[in-house]
Amino acid sequence: MRLKTWYVALLSAAFASPVTLAQVPAEPLTLGPPPPQQPRVVTFHATTENVKTLFGPADSVAALHPGDTLDTNTLDCFGGAIASPADTLSKVKLENPLTGPFYIEGAQPGDTLVVKFLDLAVDSDQGIGASGPGFGALSSSTYTPMLNHDLPERIWFFPIDKANNTATFKPADSNFTAKIPLHPFLGCIGTTPANGEVRSSLVPAEFGGNMDTPEASVGNTLYLPVNVRGALLYLGDGHAAMGDGEVAGTAIEVPMHVKIQVDLIKGKKTPWPRFENDDYLMATGMGRPLEDATRIAYTELIKWVHNDYGLSQLDLYELMSIAGELRVSEIVNPNYVVVAKLNKKYLPPKLPPTPPLTPAPTK
């Protein structure tokens, strides 16, 4: 019986087709992890029909994986309503319209969203500036009342010379012009706030928002807190150039063509937005009065450097006092924004990353 069984098996193998034999593996196959997804370029076109004016929960307009590049556009802070000298601010129906939100795959509360600014291009032949009653650092408001009359509404138009990278300032009351170098940046960029909170696109806070800081520009990397699943990233309010403080309430306001790259730092959340480039570490502070915004910025910068470079907080307090830099980004929004900076040339080598904890072997 055994001999017959062996003989039948031998004949079956001899007459089997080559394809059939080739399909029989010599040993079981083991499948490895799927290959990592290649970074993509995700495009989205913003219009007056699909922009938002709030930072908060909303249906995402597109999804991005870590490593992906977003190619999109933003409207100006007036939503395109101001185009000629005949227009007035009463025509503005969308204030600081936001492109987004963009869902970041894998982002969870407690993570940090990394945004690298790849390209920011002015998307217009003219920029716009404006001032009006109740707005601006030198105007009266509900919380800073003054006896003088409100300043009148006025709008300025700035011809953009892209070839020479300048905008032209033309005073309304004088026969004079000045060339202003362009420094494109996003006035608004942020994630969705925590705890179901919704904030106006005019407000800067821990989630980012209307920070109006020129550090949101090409060459810098921005770190934002992830407060909700998917992060829900918004951006908008393109500026061609802006002075420190944005004292009259506007920069050279323009629509923008934007390219950014996103990534994630898992399990580590930045308390406030931070910026970094090859030369500087930069921490933001937002609030009122201006002293509190400054305290937040310098405290966050000291903690950041202490954790990553090992210097004591007291030594860093002194180092900031002798080598720190401070930009007053804006003093016109519901919260004021300052950015504390420290040049990396004053720092020792960065500490090696802490290795992840490995569980003890089970017996």
Residue 290, in any domain of the structure: no
Q: What are phi and psi of 266, to 5 degrees?
A: -80, 140
Q: What is the pLDDT of residues 75-89, one digit of tens each?
A: 999 999 999 999 999
Q: How far apart are CA 349 and CA 345, in angstroms?
A: 10
- Tell me the average pLDDT of the chain: 90
Residue 34: predicted pLDDT: 57
Is residue 203 within 8 Å of 97, Cβ to Cβ?
Answer: no
Residue 168, in any domain of the structure: yes
Residue 88, in any domain of the structure: no
Residue 358, in any domain of the structure: no
| pLDDT beyond 50 at 2 | no
Report CA-CA distances (Å) from 142 to 86, 154, 201, 202, 334.
Answer: 29, 21, 20, 17, 12
Report CA-CA distances (Å) from 280 to 152, 191, 250, 277, 302.
Answer: 40, 23, 27, 5, 13
Q: What is the pLDDT of residues 228-275, one digit of tens each?
A: 999 999 999 999 999 999 999 999 999 999 999 999 999 999 999 999
Residue 135: predicted pLDDT: 85
Residue 28, in any domain of the structure: no
Residue 322, in any domain of the structure: no
Q: How many other β-carbons are positioned within 10 Å of the β-carbon of residue 350? A: 11
Q: What is the pLDDT of residues 189-224, one digit of tens each?
A: 999 999 999 999 999 999 999 999 999 999 999 999
**Do you know the residue count of the chain?**
363
Quickly count helices (H) and strands (E) in the chain: 4, 21
Structural domain count, the chain: 1
Residue 303, in any domain of the structure: no
| pLDDT beyond 60 at 10 | no
Residue 10, in any domain of the structure: no
Q: What is the pLDDT of residues 137-182, one digit of tens each?
A: 988 877 788 888 888 999 999 999 999 999 999 999 999 999 999 9
- Residues 6+ away with beta carbon under 8 Å from 86: none
Is residue 105 within 8 Å of 64, Cβ to Cβ?
Answer: yes
Q: How many other β-carbons are positioned within 10 Å of the β-carbon of residue 102? A: 24
Q: How far apart are CA 141 and CA 331, in angstroms?
A: 13
Residue 318 host element (H or E)? helix 313-323
Identify the CATH number of the domain in which residue 168 sits. 2.60.120.580
Domain limits for position 47: 41-82+93-270
The vertex-298 CA angle with 294 and 304, nearest 5°, equals 145
Of 336, 329, 161, 340, give the one whose Cα is nearest residue 240. Answer: 161
Strand-pairing partners, residue 284, are 339
The pTM (predicted TM-score) of the whole model is: 0.87
